[in-house]
């Protein structure tokens, strides 16, 4: 039986240097990069999504970056489908796929697969989002606990999007997300998967996040968000870190410095959730990257 072809996956929290590491590695091993970032997929969001720069995009071929209109939905299922196609094409050209991103669910959907589902219920989603806005995501999380305790234990009570999806699955499929996940199949059986995560001191990571937010404002974050708010955004695109915080400032509910601090704080919290997700996956080998 021939050896399995290798696929490398690089994960880590926002601002940890995943893109930089992936580019360095791609140059050394004749690789190409597939972005597993739910926001970098969108057009017109280079600052808010912290997409690779033009120079970085020229240095190594990237896939699934800036190809989708922000009015369209992006999902773990669509990402996995598109990533598999790109991966097969790369391997035919004798390139090594390097999947890079901080979207844990997207990585999981590619590696482990997604369970069979009959889709989504927009009416139910809108109702659940309205409930979250009125009563908080914690109330929805309590509902999920009763429907699927195992799924609830793996989803943070503030992760509204994933809570809603888990409840939606229970109602549509007449089964729990946990039970359906046992039927999943991803690329783990087809390829040799090497997963690595970037390990970084928490204080250094938070300093990098704070610095990145300042740089985002210098690069035109306000202008970019103003333009995005003039469009009809999909639910996925509308959840991008920075949109809500800048909207609050634009509505004169806070000053610019306060908006910056709120975005820094929310980004640090997001990074903490990413780390919690990835640390639960024992297949990931953690590497320390020095700066």
Domain 202-272 matching CATH 3.40.50.2000: the answer reads: no
The DSSP bridge partners found for residue 62 are 33
Q: What confidence score (pLDDT) does residue 115 get?
A: 65
Sign for the CA dihedral angle at 7, 180, 237, 209 comes to negative
CB atoms near residue 1 (< 10 Å) = 3
CA distance 76 to 110: 8
What are the φ/ψ torsions at residue 98 (nearest 5 degrees)? -120, 105
DSSP states of 71-122: TS---HHHHHHHHHHHHHHHHHTTPEEEEEES-HHHHHHHHT---------H
pLDDT value of position 1: 42
Tell me what pLDDT residue 163 has. 92
Query: How do the domains of the chain map onto residue ranges?
Result: 6-115+184-201+274-288, 122-181, 202-272
Taking domain 122-181, whether its CATH number is 3.40.47.10 is answered by: no
* Mean pLDDT in consecutive groups of 10 residues from the start of the chain, 291 residues: 85 95 96 97 96 96 97 95 96 97 94 74 89 90 91 89 88 74 78 95 96 97 96 94 95 95 97 94 87 49
Residue 192: its H or E element: strand 192-199
Query: Residues 6 or more apart from 276 whose CB is under 8 A from it?
Result: 156
CATH topology of domain 6-115+184-201+274-288: Rossmann fold (3.40.50)
Q: What is the pTM of this model?
A: 0.79
Q: Please name which of 100, 105, 82, 103 lies closest in space to residue 31, comparing C-alpha atoms.
A: 100
Q: What is the pLDDT of residues 154-207, one digit of tens each?
A: 899 989 988 998 898 888 877 776 776 666 678 998 999 999 999 999 999 999
């Amino acid at each position: 039986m021939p050896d399995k072809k290798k696929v490398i996956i690089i994960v880590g929290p926002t601002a940890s240097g995943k893109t930089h590491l992936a580019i360095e590695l791609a140059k050394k091993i004749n690789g190409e990069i597939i972005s597993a970032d739910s926001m970098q997929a969108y057009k017109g969001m280079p600052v808010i999504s912290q997409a690779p720069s033009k120079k970085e995009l020229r240095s190594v071929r990237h896939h699934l970056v800036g190809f989708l209109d922000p009015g369209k939905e992006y999902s773990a299922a669509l990402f996995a489908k598109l990533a598999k196609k790109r991966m097969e094409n790369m391997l035919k050209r004798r390139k090594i796929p390097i999947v890079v991103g901080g979207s844990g669910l997207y990585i999981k959907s590619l590696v482990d697969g997604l369970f069979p589902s009959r889709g989504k219920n927009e009416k139910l989603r809108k109702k659940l989002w309205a409930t979250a806005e009125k009563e908080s995501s914690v109330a929805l999380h309590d509902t999920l606990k009763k429907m699927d305790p195992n799924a609830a234990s793996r989803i943070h009570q503030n992760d509204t999007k994933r809570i809603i999806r888990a409840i939606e699955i229970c109602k549509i499929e007449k089964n729990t997300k946990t039970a359906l996940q046992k039927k999943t199949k991803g690329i783990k059986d087809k390829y040799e998967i090497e997963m690595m995560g970037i390990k970084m001191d928490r204080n250094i990571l938070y300093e990098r996040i704070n610095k990145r937010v300042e740089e985002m404002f210098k690069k035109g974050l306000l202008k970019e968000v103003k333009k995005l708010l003039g469009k009809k955004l999909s639910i996925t695109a509308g959840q991008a870190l920075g949109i809500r915080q800048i909207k609050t400032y634009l509505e004169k509910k806070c000053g610019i410095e306060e908006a910056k601090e709120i975005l820094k704080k929310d980004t640090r919290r997001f990074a903490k959730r990413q780390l919690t997700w990835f640390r639960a996956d024992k297949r990931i080998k953690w590497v320390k990257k020095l700066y």
